[in-house]
Structure 1
C-alpha cells in the first residue's frame, strides 16, 4: 500500500464520495481517504493517473508521496496557501459586490449584473464547476445544491442575493477548512515529537543519519537538548530526561547507565551514549504516533449515524424544495415567489454543519488526551469513555506499585536483627530480599559475608555468619522454641493486617520481623474520589490476592466494592457481571489482565510505553500511574456533550429557517446565514476542547 498527502479536500462528505469512486477502480477496493489527516492510502498497483483524475473532479490533488523529506512542511504550506488564495478571492468578491450595490443605480445597463456575476464567479467558481459535473451525473451533494440554488437565483433575476449566496458560501467553506486545519495542526504539533536524525558512533567517528536507518545495537550520541532517536539503554553518561512525548509528564526523570530511555524523549543536560534496542518504527513513540494518527480516522457510532443520515437528508431536502416550488402555486400562490422560497430551502439543506459537528470535536479530544499522556486508540473509545458507569481496577501494579516494600518492622534485638538480615539478603535477587535491602539502606553498618547459604523450600534460607546459624524466611522457618507469647502476638498481628512475613531468627530467639506489602500508589485514593466526581457510579477492585490484603488496600484507597482470591478466568466472569449493570472499563497493567481488558467494554492499560500495554488495551495511560484518568473521562464527557450540542445547533438553526417558509419569510441570505452560522458555531465550540485551563488529573512524582 502507498500513502499520499492530499490538498483541497473540501469536506468530509466529499472525501467519502471520492473514496467510493476510487474503490471502483481496478485494485482500488482497499483505498481509503483519511479526511482528518488529509491522506490517501491505495494499492501500489492502482493506476494513479485515474486516481488523480477522480480527485481533481472535486478540486483535490496529491501533493507528494508520504515519507519524503520535508513532507509535513510541504503539506502545511500547500494547505495554508490554498486557504489564503480562497480568502483573497472572497475579499475581491466582497469589494466588487459592495461596489455594485452602492453604485447600482448610477451604472449603465448590464454593468451591475456583470459585477455581480464576476463577484459570484470569483468566490464560487470551484463549487459551481463541481456542482455542474455532479448534476450531469445525477450526483446530489452540497455542491449540487448550491449550484442549483445559484442558477435558479440568477434565472429569476435575483443577481444581488445569488451573489451574496456565493460569497457567504465561500466564507463558509473557508471557515470550515480553517477549523479542520486548526484541529489538524494540533495533531501535527503532537506528531512533531518524532525525532528526524541520530548521531551514530562507529569506529570512533560521529555520523548523522536519518532515524529510519537506525539498527538495533547501534550506539548513538545524544547531546544536551537533543531528542533520543529511538528506544534504548544508556551505556554511558548521566542526565535528566523529559519524557513528555511518551507520558505527557514534563517532570524530568534521572537516567544513568543500564537504564531504559524512550525515543522522542529530550535529553535535558549532559551527554548520553545510548545502545538502540529497537528500530525507530518499532519504538514506543512510533507506535504511539501511528495509533494516534489512526485514531482520528475511526468513526464513532454518532459519526456513522450522521453519515447515513446525510445520505438521505440531501435527497429529502431536494424533495421538500420541489414541493415548496410546485404545490403552493396550485393553490393560488405566486410561482416566482415560491420558486425563490424553494431555492432558499435548497441552501438550508446543505449538510456542512451537521457533518462537521463530530470530527473536529473527536480530533480535539484525542489530541488533548494525547498531550496528557493518555493514548486513545479511536474516536469510538473516546465516546465510550464518556459513557462509563463502572471502573474495575486490578490491584497489583495498578492501585499499587507492584513492588514489595517494608511497611512495618518489629525489632527484638535491633542491631543483630538488621545486621544479619542485610548480610543474608545482600546477594539475593528475590523481590522480598530487595524490599528488605531497600529498607536497610537507611541504616549504615558493615555487612558480613555468610560462610554458606542454603535454601529451604517453603520456608526461606539458612546461613552461617561468624560461625552461627541464622534463619530468614516465613513463619515456618522459625524454630518452635524461639516463639514466645510476644512474638506469637506480633506474628498474628502482621498476618491479620495482610502483610507478608519475613522473620530473622536463630535456634533460640527471633531477632525481628518485617511486615512486607505491595506499596499503594500515592495517587490512588484521590483518583478514586475524582472518578466519582467525574460521574463514575461505581469503582471496584479485582485481585487474586487473599481477602485480608484486598481489604487493606480497598480501605486505604476508599473502595467499598472489591473481590479477592480471583483467578484470571474469574476476573473475566466478574467483568461480565459488571457489564450487565452498565458500561464497564477495566484498568490493568496490560500484561496479566489481558483477558479482562479484552472482555470489558473498555480496556485501559497502565504502562510506560510497554509494548504489551499499547497493543492490548483500547486506552493506554502512558504514565505509570492513574493520575490523569479522571481528567480523561471529563474530556470524553465534554466531547460527547459538545457533539450533542453541535448536532442540536446544526439541525435547530436549519429547522428554524425551514419554518420561515410557512409564512413565506425565508430568503436566500437568511438560508445561507443559517447554514454558515451553524458551521461557524460548531467549529468554534469543538475547538474549545483543546483549551486546558485547569490541567487534568492528579500529578504524581
Structure 2
C-alpha cells in the first residue's frame, strides 16, 4: 500500500514538472496517492471527528484535507505516505518487542509420541489426555507438562525459567512443555492439557500484561485527550489571526495546517507502550514474569524490600550441619536414619539424607515399637535395643549419661539458629545432630546488589524463632529482622513499612505469604514455574526459584522508568520546538511530518534499548 502510494506520488511529481503543479494530470496521481495511502487513516479520522474524539489521526485527516483545499496536493500526498511509514515503523517495533514471547509459542512441539496400551502413536497435542504416557527421546523437546515415571535425564528449562544450566530429572520430578530433553530417554505421565501448561499460562499472562496500561501510559492518554483540541485551537488561531493584519491567507492557512501536523502526538502516544512491551518481553525471556506495566513501573520506584525467610532467603530444605558422634559415624547415623525414616517430622528427612550421603546401609534395619512423643522426639527398637532421637531437654529429663558434656556445644549451636537433636539409647548419648534450613548461596550477593542499587532498607519477616532469624539475617546481610511473626503480623509490618517508605516490595513463596504479598506495592513470588498460586497471586514471579533474578528485575524496571520519562520529555520538547517555528512562518508541512516521524522513530529506538538489559549472570 505504501509502495503503490509512493509510485502515484512520483507520477504526480513528474506530471507536475511536465504540465504544471495544478494541472489535472498532476492532481489525479496525487489524489490517488492520498486515497490509497491514507484510506485507513481517513476511515478512523472521520469517525473520530464525528464523535469529537480528537487523536492524532483526526489531526492528520484535517491537515491533509486542508492541504488539498489550498492546492498543496503534493505535500498532502507526502504527509500521507510519511505518516503511513511512521505507522509501519511503530507496528514493526511493537512486533519486534513481542517477538520473544511469540517465539515461545513455537517452542513446544505440536505432536508427541504417546503410548496407549501396547501401541506407540504420534498424536497432536490437542488430542493428548491427562494420564497419557509420553515418550521423549534425547534431543527432543517435551510437548506437555507432566511427571517423570521412568528414566533419568538432564533437561534444559531455559524457555520456562530463564536458567541455562540443565536440571536433572528423574522419577516423580515435574517437567514442563517446551523444555529440551538433552540426554536420556524419559517416560512422562501427562498432568495438564495443552491449554493449561505452564508455557501456555506464561504466554497468556505476558500478553495480558503487555496490553495493560501503565500509570505513565494512562497519563499520556489523558494528556493527549486535552492536548489535541488545544493544538486544533492553536492551528486555527495561526490560520486566522495573522492574515487579519497582513492579508496573506494562503501562507497562514498553510502554517496552521503545518502546526496541526507537527502537533500530532504520535511520539508521545507510543512513548510508553513500546517501552512496557519491550521490558516485559525481555523479562519473560530471562525467566521473570511481570504481570503488567503498572507493576514494572512500581518496582522501578521501590524504596524497601521485605523478604520471607524460608524458601526465599533460605532453600526451605533442612540439612544436617553439625554432627558429634560417639563411635563409628556411619554406623551411628545409620541407626538414627533408620529410626527417623518412620517419622513424619519435617527434620527427619535431613537425618535420613545425611545417613544416605555417608553411605550407610539402613534399609535392612527393622524398627519395632516405634513411638512419636509429641514435643520431645521419637523412640523405637532396633535389634531388640531401644533408641531415641529428640530434644536435649528430653535427654536431660531422662537423665541419660553424657548429656551434661554437650551443654556448652548445644548453646553455641542454638545461638547460631540451628535445631539441636540428640541420638542415644537407654544408657548414653551416641550423637549430637544439628539441623538448619540452608541459606541460599545467592542470598548475600542479592542483598548486596540491592543495597548497591540504592534500596534504602532490606527487611526479613519470618515466623521462625528469634535466634534462627538473627543468625540467617546476619549471614545474608539484611538491615532489619522481624521474627516469630504470624501471617497477620507480617501484613501489619508491610503496612507499617509502606507508611515509612511509601513503596515496598515483598518477596515470598506466593502461598504462605499471600496477605503480605497482596498488601505490598509489588508482590514478588519465588518459583513461578509449575506453581499455579504464584502465577495467579503475585505481581511478579521469579520462574526459576532464583533470587538472583531480583536485582536484574529491579534494574530493568528502573531502566524502563527512565526511558519512559526520557521519551515523554523528548516528545513534548520536539513538539514545542517545532511549534515555535510557526511564529516566524518557517514551519512547512515537510518539516512538520519529518519532525513527527523522526520523533516517533527516536522514541521507538530508545525504547528498544530495553532489549539490551541483561541478567548479570549472563
Shared fold, TM over 0.5 = yes
SS of the residue aligned with 2:552?
helix
Provide the residue aligned with 1:585 in structure 2. Answer: 505
Deviates more, 1:437-446 or 1:572-581: 437-446
Q: In 2 relative to 1, CA 285–127 (structure 1 residues): closer, same or farther, beyond 3 Å?
A: closer
Deviates more, 1:683-692 or 1:585-594: 683-692
- Separation of aligned partners in 1, 2:432 and 2:169: 34
Provide the residue aligned with 2:557 in structure 1. Answer: 636
> Which consecutive residues of structure 2, in runs of 5 or more, have no partner in the other structure?
none
For the 8 Å contact 1:90–1:171, the answer to whether it is kept is: no
Provide the residue aligned with 1:41 in structure 2. Answer: none
For the 8 Å contact 1:97–1:163, the answer to whether it is kept is: no
Q: In 2 relative to 1, CA 142–419 (structure 1 residues): closer, same or farther, beyond 3 Å?
A: closer
Q: Indicate whether 1:613 and 2:534 are aligned.
A: yes
Which of 582, 591, 594 does residue 514 from structure 2 map onto? 594
Provide the residue aligned with 1:532 in structure 2. Answer: 451
Q: Indicate whether 1:558 and 2:477 are aligned.
A: yes
Provide the residue aligned with 2:588 in structure 1. Answer: 667
Q: Indicate whether 1:685 and 2:595 are aligned.
A: no
SS of the residue aligned with 1:230?
coil
Following superposition, the deviation at residue 130 of structure 1 comes to 4.8
Name the TM-score, length of structure 1 as normaliser.
0.82
For the 8 Å contact 1:629–1:697, the answer to whether it is kept is: no
For the 8 Å contact 1:227–1:265, the answer to whether it is kept is: yes
For the 8 Å contact 1:291–1:377, the answer to whether it is kept is: yes
Q: Which has the higher contact order (CA 8 A, sep 6+)?
A: 2
Q: In 2 relative to 1, CA 133–438 (structure 1 residues): closer, same or farther, beyond 3 Å?
A: closer
For the 8 Å contact 1:487–1:510, the answer to whether it is kept is: no
> Which consecutive residues of structure 1, in runs of 5 or more, have no partner in the other structure?
1-84
Aligned-CA RMSD value: 2.4
Following superposition, the deviation at residue 669 of structure 1 comes to 1.0
- Separation of aligned partners in 2, 1:133 and 1:265: 48
Q: In 2 relative to 1, CA 513–358 (structure 1 residues): closer, same or farther, beyond 3 Å?
A: same
Query: How many residues of Structure 1 are paired with residues of Structure 2 in the alignment?
Result: 611
Task: Provide Cα deviations, 1:424-451, integer angstroms capped at 9, x if missing partner.
Answer: 2344453322211222233234444344
Q: In 2 relative to 1, CA 293–131 (structure 1 residues): closer, same or farther, beyond 3 Å?
A: closer
For the 8 Å contact 2:101–2:203, the answer to whether it is kept is: no
Q: Indicate whether 1:468 and 2:385 are aligned.
A: yes
Following superposition, the deviation at residue 348 of structure 1 comes to 1.2
Q: In 2 relative to 1, CA 90–555 (structure 1 residues): closer, same or farther, beyond 3 Å?
A: farther
Task: Provide Cα deviations, 1:41-88, integer angstroms capped at 9, x if missing partner.
Answer: xxxxxxxxxxxxxxxxxxxxxxxxxxxxxxxxxxxxxxxxxxxx43x2
- Separation of aligned partners in 2, 1:293 and 1:461: 53
Following superposition, the deviation at residue 275 of structure 1 comes to 1.1
Following superposition, the deviation at residue 210 of structure 1 comes to 2.9
Which of 277, 285, 303 does residue 363 from structure 1 map onto? 277
Provide the residue aligned with 1:42 in structure 2. Answer: none
Q: Indicate whether 1:203 and 2:124 are aligned.
A: no
- Separation of aligned partners in 1, 2:334 and 2:304: 49
- Separation of aligned partners in 2, 1:690 and 1:606: 23
SS of the residue aligned with 1:275?
strand
Q: In 2 relative to 1, CA 438–97 (structure 1 residues): closer, same or farther, beyond 3 Å?
A: farther
Following superposition, the deviation at residue 352 of structure 1 comes to 1.5
- Separation of aligned partners in 2, 1:421 and 1:138: 81
SS of the residue aligned with 2:516?
helix
- Separation of aligned partners in 1, 2:391 and 2:569: 65
Provide the residue aligned with 1:158 in structure 2. Answer: 72
Task: Provide Cα deviations, 1:287-339, integer angstroms capped at 9, x if missing partner.
Answer: 22221121111111111121122222222111111111111222335222211
Which of 42, 45, 63 does residue 149 from structure 1 map onto? 63
- Separation of aligned partners in 2, 1:578 and 1:237: 49
